[in-house]
Amino acid sequence: MKDEIQTWLLEWLKKKNKNPELSIEIDDDFYKCSFLDSFGIIELIVDVEDHFSISFDDADFQVASFRTVEGLAEIISKK
């Protein structure tokens, strides 16, 4: 399941990428790689919650792993 989640997240990020020069790996930080700004994170949260029928809580956003595909996939799979 985690691999499917990672694939979905990577595809989502590729669609939202405004700079074709950038690529993202599963352990890259969304912010540091300039893949997502604060609005992009909100879009990601909404789309993930809708697609996977989950709800994040405030504690999820405080975890550093929330900023990577690998970490976010782990959080999603636990929900």
Pick the closest to residue 43 from 24, 28, 30 (CA basis). 30
pLDDT of residue 34: 78
pLDDT of residue 8: 97
Domain ranges in the chain are 2-78
Q: Which residues of the chain have pLDDT under 50?
A: none
| C-alpha of 52 from chain center | 12
- Greatest alpha-carbon span in the chain: 33
What tokens does 36 get? Answer: 């997502």
pLDDT of residue 72: 96
pLDDT of residue 36: 85
pLDDT of residue 7: 96
Instruction: Quote the pTM value.
Output: 0.89
CATH class for the domain made up of 2-78:
mainly alpha
Pick the closest to residue 36 from 14, 58, 56 (CA basis). 14
